[in-house]
Amino acid sequence: MKEMELKYGCNPNQKPARIFMNGEDGLPIRVLSGRPGYINLLDAFNGWQLVRELKKATGLPAATSFKHVSPAGAAVGLPLDETLARIYWVDDMGGLSPLASAYARARGADRMSSFGDFISLSDVCDVDTARLIKREVSDGVIAPGYAPEALEILKSKKNGNYCVIEIDEAYEPEAIERKQVFGVVFEQGRNDLNIDHDLIANVVTANKEIPDGAKMDLVISLITLKYTQSNSVCYAKGGQAIGIGAGQQSRVHCTRLAGQKADNWFLRQAPQVLNLQFVDGIRRADRDNAIDVYIGEEYMDVLADGAWEKIFKEKPPVFTREEKRAWLDQMEDVALGSDAFFPFGDNIERAYKSGVKYIAQPGGSVRDDNVIETCNKYGMAMAFTGIRLFHH
């Protein structure tokens, strides 16, 4: 098949819509269930590239959760400890396969943003992963294959309308890519940059020590940024992205947005949050929203108007600003990647508040000395990659 008609483009008024291949080759995908839309396929193709590169770089199964052409989360298949299993709502599922663990991490980093995601998997989807996907609100999944039982589980989702795509694992696109904007054709070489440990070898700070685990996290952050709408910054820890700031015009706004998401990820592990008692039958999405409100400053208003009674079995104590700061001060050894250079040391100051110790960025700012000096003040190790990773 060389062409697939779509219901519409980005919006319902944008018709006709299709995807197609020039030349002799057919489309590299098969739709096994459902009907993907224009944005679904943009997410699927970007996400597939991301997880394929994560698998190549780390040797581990990888997953990503995409929304509107940027990842909400990305991770490799490391085991989950008890706390992560609880905050990702998978502690009732028993031991998960590596691929399922990767998706639990990718989905769990920023669950509010992942609501209604499109999933990409580096490996054949197994039953554990399908069962996890089945219970989440999601638009679809792309993978190089599906175990028979896993496919049946996914086909039953959304009354048979869940989008399941199989991609040809051997497919490689042309070296030149093109797109059209306002009737004008843009052409450029495909970004086939290989991201691995060699890219972070040039450590420019006084602290030169980057342990292997942090190197993996830096590689994960950089590969994630390669497929994130720019400007973008990614915080990573323990084999997964924990905060992604995408599509911001200012670099420091990326750093703040991603840092806030990383903070929320860590605050969800605090005893005050883990001990929350929800009313019976509450949906996971409602729990996620309630936790976000509880962590936020506006929770005092919720306590005041009595809305907590619809969510919690008993009135939770206020999680004070001082308590949150004390908990966040325990977050450490976080890795941070940036798709372009940091122009000012204020980015480093903000990153430090979220436990960042390892940084990878292109370098090349006229204020590199100031950025390095700020890193040295906090004992951070920073590598200059020399490579920009803008993605649009």
Instruction: Determine the Cα–Cα distance for residues 348 and 355; give it in Å rounded to an integer.
Output: 11
AA identity, residue 1: M
Instruction: Determine the Cα–Cα distance for residues 305 and 307; give it in Å rounded to an integer.
Output: 6
**Is 392 among the catalytic positions?**
yes
Catalytic pick from 40, 231, 264, 347? 231
Pairing of strands 176-181, 184-189: antiparallel
- Give bridge partners of residue 29 from the DSSP assignment: 167
Q: Which residues contact 244 (CB under 8 A, 6 or more apart)?
A: 70, 71, 72, 73, 109, 110, 224, 228, 232, 233, 234, 235, 258, 261
DSSP assignment of 280-317 equals TT--HHHHHHHHHHHHSTTHHHHHHHTGGGGTBSS-PP
Instruction: Determine the Cα–Cα distance for residues 150 and 72; give it in Å rounded to an integer.
Output: 24
**Is 253 among the catalytic positions?**
no
Q: Which residues contact 324 (CB under 8 A, 6 or more apart)?
A: 267, 270, 295
Spatial CA neighbour of 234 closest among 376, 362, 223, 50: 223
Catalytic pick from 56, 68, 253, 353? 68
**Is 2 among the catalytic positions?**
no
Q: Please calculate the CA angle 212-347-114 and round it to the nearest 5 degrees.
A: 70
Catalytic pick from 55, 67, 357, 391? 67
Is residue 80 within 8 Å of residue 96, measured between CB atoms?
A: yes
Which token pair is 130?
A: 């399908």
Is residue 256 within 8 Å of residue 262, measured between CB atoms?
A: no
Tell which phi-psi region holds residue 317, choosing left (phi > 0), alpha (psi between -120 and 50) or beta.
beta
Measured CA to CA in angstroms, residue 43 lies from 138, 157, 183, 390 at distances of 12, 19, 23, 17
Is residue 131 within 8 Å of residue 89, measured between CB atoms?
A: no
Catalytic pick from 13, 159, 275, 392? 392
**Is 134 among the catalytic positions?**
no
Q: Is the dihedral of CA 104, 110, 116, 121 positive or negative?
A: negative
Residues with a known catalytic role = 67-68, 231, 392
